[in-house]
Amino acid sequence: MIDFSTRRAIARAISIVESDADKHASQRTDLLKALENTKRAVRVGISGAPGAGKSSLIEALGTFLIKQGHKVAVLVVDPSSPVSKGSILGDKTRMPSLSKDPRAFVRPSPSRGMLGGVAPNSENVMKVFEAAGFDIVIVETVGVGQSEVAVADLVDTFVLLVPPASGDELQGVKKGIVELAHIVVVTKHDGDLKARAEKTKQEYTHALSVGRRKGWRVRVDLVSAFSGDGIEALWADIRAHAT
């Protein structure tokens, strides 16, 4: 039985599954074998271009979910430093509330140059979270473009964030990352950007209504991470798709 009773133990287990050092090979093999039958959490991928508001939305969503009684783990995939090979932005300051909450766990992880917005061992890290009792696991990808979509294969629900006035992106709405999204979230639905966000939603809703795959109608949600408006509706859409 693996002991995940402390945050230090969880962090240590993640370090082992992420390590490619020979000295951790035996531990890594044993740990991964022990994680094979772990109960799966609800896995949510959050993606979008830099500046779309991924961290802010995850902070708001995670805080909401904790208040609903959930335990939330967040894997933040960051660009790798060419010097240290670690996460360039891996300081957790983008999610201060979640980082401090005992019912949450935020883990930066270096992409190590892997394309697709995730890291080589992202799925194994998610399994550690699940074994530690987190029932919702959120993966924040590196700021991605149209072709970086590997996270969609690792999660139950794939959420794409777009900022207001993202009309240029509509030209590629049937390609790459937009094509795989189960939910599109127009962020920053507040203040001076509120009207633009609503117009952007209309544009995406219209574009996504043409030629989509059967079985799931892609939702387009408006969310303000600042005020919290739209967070509850977003979670309802995630839950509807994931279950």
Domain contains 31: no
| Whole-angstrom distance, CA of residue 237 vs CA of residue 233 | 6
The per-residue pLDDT of the chain, averaged, comes to 83
Residue 212 zone, left/alpha/beta (φ > 0; ψ -120 to 50; rest): beta
Contacts of 132 (CB under 8 A, 6+ apart): 4, 10, 13, 73, 105
Domain contains 29: no
Q: Who has greater pLDDT, 151 or 7?
A: 7
Domain contains 108: yes
Q: What is the CATH number of the domain that holds 218?
A: 3.40.50.300
User: Is 117's pLDDT higher than 70?
Assistant: no
pLDDT-derived band at 133, boundaries 50, 70, 90: very high
Domain contains 143: yes
Question: pLDDT per residue over 158-172, tens digit each?
Answer: 999 999 975 555 554
| C-alpha torsion sign, points 216, 220, 224, 229 | negative
Letter string b/e over residues 172-206, b meaning 16 or more CB atoms within 10 A of that residue's CB: ebeeebbbbbbbbbbbbbbeebeebbeebbebbee
Task: Return the structure tokens found at 84.
Answer: 């240290």
Amino acid at 121: N
pLDDT of the residue at 81: 44
User: Is 176's pLDDT higher than 70?
Assistant: no
User: Is 48's pLDDT higher than 80?
Assistant: yes
User: Is 221's pLDDT higher than 70?
Assistant: yes
DSSP state of 129: H
Among 50, 20, 240, CA closest to 140: 50
Instruction: Give the number of domains in the chain.
Output: 1
With contact defined as beta carbons under 8 Å apart, do 17 and 121 qualify? yes
Question: pLDDT per residue over 64-114, tens digit each?
Answer: 999 999 999 999 887 544 344 444 454 456 788 999 999 999 998 876 544
Tally of residues, the chain: 243
Domain contains 234: yes
Domain contains 24: no
Domain contains 119: yes
Q: Which domain holds residue 105?
A: 40-242
Strand pairing report for 104-110 and 72-78: parallel
123: number of Cβ within 10 Å:
17
Amino acid at 155: V
| Whole-angstrom distance, CA of residue 74 vs CA of residue 56 | 13
With contact defined as beta carbons under 8 Å apart, do 142 and 148 qualify? yes
Among 236, 185, 171, CA closest to 46: 185
Domain contains 150: yes
Question: pLDDT per residue over 197-216, tens digit each?
Answer: 999 999 888 888 775 556 78
